[in-house]
Amino acid sequence: MTRVLVTGFAPFGGEQVNPSWQAASLLAAEPPTGLGVTAAELPCVFGAALDALRDAVRASAPDLVVCLGQAGGRPAVTVERVAVNIDDARIPDNAGAQPVDEPVIPGGPAAYFSTLPVKACVAALRAAGVPAAVSNTAGTFVCNHVAYGLGHLLATEFPGVRGGFVHVPWAPEQVTDGSAPALEPATVARGLRALLTAAASTPAGQDLRVTEGATH
Catalytically annotated residue among 44, 145, 152, 167: 167
Q: Alpha-carbon distance 29 to 99, whole Å?
A: 35
Question: Residue 117 in contact with residue 135, Cβ under 8 Å?
Answer: no
Selection from 47, 61, 67, 37 nearest residue 147 by Cα:
67
Terminal CA-CA length for the chain: 40
Question: Residue 164 in contact with residue 79, Cβ under 8 Å?
Answer: yes
167 is catalytic: yes
143 is catalytic: yes
Catalytically annotated residue among 44, 67, 80, 152: 80
173 is catalytic: no
Q: Alpha-carbon distance 50 to 63, whole Å?
A: 18
Catalytically annotated residue among 44, 121, 143, 152: 143
String of b and e for 115-142 (b: at least 16 CB within 10 Å)? bbbbbbbbbbbbebebbbbbbeebbbbb
What amino acid positions are annotated as catalytic residues? 80, 143, 167
